[in-house]
Structure 1
Amino acid sequence: MKLAKVIGNVVSTVKTESHHGCKLMVVLPVDTDGNPAGDSIIAVDGVNAGIGETVLIVEEGGSARDIMRNPNGAYDTVIVGIVDEGIN
């Protein structure tokens, strides 16, 4: 798992079948101080996160499929939690 900051929404008229009905967000990995720690990524939102929130992401296919409860899904990155406090 990694920390990330939600920085935007993704609107797509064409998606793979496993992504139908999924909300896609742009996230920026951050370190424990909230500083950028990598390039932005598109992630499936599994927890109804909003722009500006610090979240936990999983970037491993097997774990992402388990979280989305779709063993045949094509998920690379999934938002799995929202950080309530501790990161600015």
Structure 2
Amino acid sequence: MFIAKVIGSVVSTQKVSTMTGHKLLVVEPYRLEGEKRESLVTTGRTFISVDTIGAGEGDFVLIVQGSSARLMPETNPLPIDACIIGIVDTVHIDKQSVYDRDK
């Protein structure tokens, strides 16, 4: 599981039938900044992820990949490798807030 930021969406009119009706979002994984450990920074990569919870552009989200992405009832029949399973409200490291959705 990892934290990522939703940076866009994908529209695909031609796809396998099991994917019809599923929202696809472009997500960019983030990691803890190394030296001061006071903020989240991008890894510079992107993924396409199925959204199961109604996330939107700019949200930080929790992502699962691989078989974990297909273990939920909503995603079991889908040919996917990444799934959004939560929207992040806060991140605390060493008793310090490094992300707060409300700020």
TM-score (norm: length of structure 2): 0.75
* Conservation of the 8 A alpha-carbon contact between 1:46 and 1:68: no
Q: What is the one-letter code of the residue matched to 1:51? A: E
C-alpha separation in 2, matches of 1:82 and 1:70:
17
Aligned-pair CA distance for 1:17: 2.2
Hey, what does 2:55 align to over in structure 1?
Answer: 49
- Which consecutive aligned stretches of 4+ in structure 1 deviate over 4 angstroms post-superposition? none
Aligned-pair CA distance for 1:20: 1.0
Q: 1 or 2, which has the higher strand percentage?
A: 2
| Per-residue deviation, residues 17-54 of structure 1 (Å, max 9, x unmatched) | 22111000000000133211241110000111010000
C-alpha separation in 1, matches of 2:76 and 2:86:
20
> Rg bigger for which structure?
2
Q: How many residue pairs were aligned?
A: 87
Q: What is the one-letter code of the residue matched to 1:63? A: S
Structure 1 residues without counterparts, runs of 5 or longer: none
Of the three residues 63, 72, 75, the one matched with 2:80 is: 75
Structure 2 residues without counterparts, runs of 5 or longer: 33-38, 92-98
- Residues 28-67 of structure 1 aligned to structure 2 (within 5 Å): 28-32=28-32, 33-60=39-66, 62-67=67-72
Report the secondary structure of 1:52's partner residue: coil
Higher RCO (C-alpha 8 Å, min separation 6): 1
C-alpha separation in 2, matches of 1:68 and 1:49:
18
